[in-house]
Amino acid sequence: MARVLLKPKRDKSVKNRHPWIFSGAVQEVRGEVSDGDIVEVADSGNNWLARGYYNSRSQIVVRLLTWDDSDRLDAAFFRKRVREAVERRRDLLYDPQTNAFRLVFSEADRLPGLVADLYGDFVIVQCDTLGIERWKDAVLDTLMETLSPRGVFERSDTESRHSHEGLAPSVGLRRGKEPPPLVSVRERGIAFDVDIRQGQKTGFYLDQRENRIRAARFCAGKDVLDAFAYTGGFAAHALAAGAARITLIDSSESSLSLAERNLARIQTQGKTDYLHGNVFQALRDLGQRRRRYDVVILDPPKLAPAQGAVERAARGYKDLNLHALRLLRPGGILVTFSCSGLVDAALFQKVVFGASADTGRAVQILYRLSQSPDHPVLLFCPESEYLKGLICRAID
């Protein structure tokens, strides 16, 4: 097995069990290695540190899987890791109200590059790296054995798979039966149809589950704006909790039509408006028309994809939050998120502070939110924390 030797003083993160080795930290590679192979990692003095998989095409040249020398990285190892991740979701597996959640969350479940989501009777798998691609059969077999789904469908079509790992998309049925065009799921008793083939991510924003439930508690009897609504996740929970009226905005027409279908199941007669358009503009337009809301939800896409984009993203988040605050009635609630990993909780709070200061509205924080626990944060890998949110009240 080839051995990757690190440069002097570049072993600290490995010793701290961070799973990534950047190409700049590598002194030399001893032995024959192909992209996707398992390699040993050693410090500059050739002392063994860890073991993981290799891809010379990626900036993250090694993703580490074990720091225990007795672990052999074979199919049995990957099977065990998948079984353990599923086992940690027991509470959700036995929750009769919810049958859609994440089964495997990549680095945070010590399976870098692998995401697996459960949608009712089907499992959707996403392989983001060449290293995990090699073990796909073991992963797929284990998911079939442990969960007995009707089918396992692959949605390995992420941008990073192509741009960072040099892999072509891989999409299609992998085990069992073909899923229907829309897969029906339940989230805390609320039914959703999910487009697992064309939908964003693997079809649904499972990371927002707990936050949707929490936000809904503020919506009974209220006039709500759901900005970046996608297929109506927040809106459905708000309506089920008794929202009086809700406006959904999204730039994707197909997402809004699926939202309409999802909300139709709930008592929505005359309570819903759909606005197809750009939220940045729509918030301004609504403000000019003096439209006001009791609750505004802002769940934008990732605005900071790279370090160089953080400042610009912060300006974007500020713009959204500022215009959202202006739309709130006195005492109104702002539910606001950032899913940019590079915008940390402190910066995000600063951004909302800036919006509060500029509007002159006094804002209280009621809750600080994160991703749902089926998307855990591994302390060894702070990058596994990406979603942050605030529920605020404008009290002036």
- Contacting positions for ligand SAH (CB under 6 A): 200, 205, 208, 228-231, 233-234, 249-252, 255, 278-280, 299, 301
Question: What is the closest distance, in whole angstroms, from the C-beta atom of residue 67 to ligand SAH in the complex?
Answer: 36
Nearer to ligand SAH, 132 or 320 (CB): 320
User: If you write DSSP's letter for every residue of 126-178 in order, what string do you get?
Assistant: EE-SHHHHTTHHHHHHHHHHHH--SEEEEEE--HHHHHTT----EEEEEEESP
Question: What is the closest distance, in whole angstroms, from the C-beta atom of residue 282 to ligand SAH in the complex?
Answer: 7
Nearer to ligand SAH, 184 or 251 (CB): 251
Question: What is the closest distance, in whole angstroms, from the C-beta atom of residue 144 to ligand SAH in the complex?
Answer: 28
Question: Which tokens in the block code for residue 137?
Answer: 């059969």
Question: Which tokens in the block code for residue 22?
Answer: 């950047």
Would you say 300 and 279 are in contact if contact means Cβ atoms under 8 Å apart?
yes
**For the chain, what's the residue count?**
396
Question: Which tokens in the block code for residue 177?
Answer: 């039966």
Instruction: For residue 255, give the nearest of 224, 281, 234, 241 by alpha carbon.
Output: 234
Nearer to ligand SAH, 23 or 278 (CB): 278
Residue 308: its H or E element: none
Residue 29: its H or E element: strand 26-30
Q: In terms of DSSP bridges, do strands 48-54 and 38-42 run parallel, antiparallel, or are they unpaired?
A: antiparallel
Tokens 């080839």, residue?
2
User: How many Cβ atoms sit within 10 Å of the Cβ of residue 304?
Assistant: 21
Question: What is the closest distance, in whole angstroms, from the C-beta atom of residue 281 to ligand SAH in the complex?
Answer: 8
Q: Which of 127, 219, 339, 392 is catalytic?
A: 339
Question: What is the closest distance, in whole angstroms, from the C-beta atom of residue 214 to ligand SAH in the complex?
Answer: 12
Helices 310-326 and 279-288, interaxial angle, to 10°? Answer: 30
Q: Which residues contact 30 (CB under 8 A, 6 or more apart)?
A: 2, 3, 4, 5
CA 207-342-155 angle, to 5 degrees, is: 45
Instruction: For residue 368, give the nearest of 388, 394, 354, 396 by alpha carbon.
Output: 388
Nearer to ligand SAH, 247 or 255 (CB): 255
Nearer to ligand SAH, 131 or 233 (CB): 233
Q: Which residue is nearest to ligand SAH (CB)?
A: 233
Question: What is the closest distance, in whole angstroms, from the C-beta atom of residue 236 to ligand SAH in the complex?
Answer: 9
Nearer to ligand SAH, 122 or 228 (CB): 228
Catalytic residue check, 339: yes
Q: Which residues are catalytic?
A: 339
